[in-house]
Amino acid sequence: MEVFIGTVMPFPYNFAPRGWFPCSGQLLSIASYSALYALIGVTYGGDGRTNFALPNLNTSTSDQAVRIALGQGNGPGLTPRVIGQAFGEDAHTITTQEMPMHNHAFALFSGAQGKTEVPPAGGILVDPTYTGFVDPSIAPPDTTLAPVTIGPAGGGQAHNNDQPALSLFYCICYEGIFPSFG
């Protein structure tokens, strides 16, 4: 089967077949692989004088995580993507600005033991040993909340941001048919 030079394909084994290179971001000589360079140029890196880089879909580097392949272009309501554009992150720490607007409203707190899990109209949340809500007409005087009740929470650590995926070995063809421009 003849394939076009520059074709990127996933393989279910861990080596590049003859005529293919792993898509691991490596630099290649322009002089040695001029046909492939003519098609992809420095889209994925390189200096454009003596070398160019292949897409990196297989290996992590100190400054870039392995990427998944994604189509380029844009559509209604989608973010435009340019060929060769890297984006996304392995882990993300949510900031206050990224949280949806929300509210932690409460009215009064009481030290009385509650009678129900469902708040009655005008019910008061019990503190410190929550066992339900009490009727406001029989509630004792207000009680000071424990600092953890309204204090900061969370560790501020990043969370895993990887989508479910299956790892395959991506390669790019350097021997084959030079595609014609349509």
Same-domain status, 53 and 116: no
Same-domain status, 117 and 180: no
Q: Return the pLDDT at 138.
A: 61
| Amino acid at site 111 | G
Name 108's bridge partners.
Answer: none
Identify the top-confidence range among 3-17, 47-61, 120-134, 136-150: 3-17
Residue 152 lies in a domain: no
Residue 75 lies in a domain: no
Residues 6+ apart with CB under 8 A from 119: 125, 133
Cβ distance 101 to 82 under 8 Å?
no
63-73 pLDDT, tens per residue?
666 677 878 88
Same-domain status, 170 and 138: no
Domain of residue 63, residue span = 1-68+165-182
CA 46 → CA 24, 53, 164, distances in Å? 13, 5, 31
Same-domain status, 56 and 15: yes
pLDDT of 23 over the 90 cut: yes
Of the CA atoms within 13 Å of residue 80, those in its CB half-sphere come to: 1
**Residue 179's pLDDT band (boundaries 50, 70, 90)?**
very high
Tokens 């109209």, located at residue = 121
Same-domain status, 1 and 54: yes
Same-domain status, 16 and 56: yes
Domain count for the chain: 2
* pTM confidence score: 0.66
Q: What does the block give as tokens for 65?
A: 């995580």
**Residue 111's pLDDT band (boundaries 50, 70, 90)?**
very low
Residues 6+ apart with CB under 8 A from 97: none
Residues 6+ apart with CB under 8 A from 59: 24, 25, 66
Residue 154 lies in a domain: no
Residue 73 lies in a domain: no
Residue 83 lies in a domain: no
Average pLDDT over residues 18-41: 97
The mean pLDDT of the chain is: 79
Residue 120 lies in a domain: yes
Residue 1 lies in a domain: yes
Residue 124 lies in a domain: yes
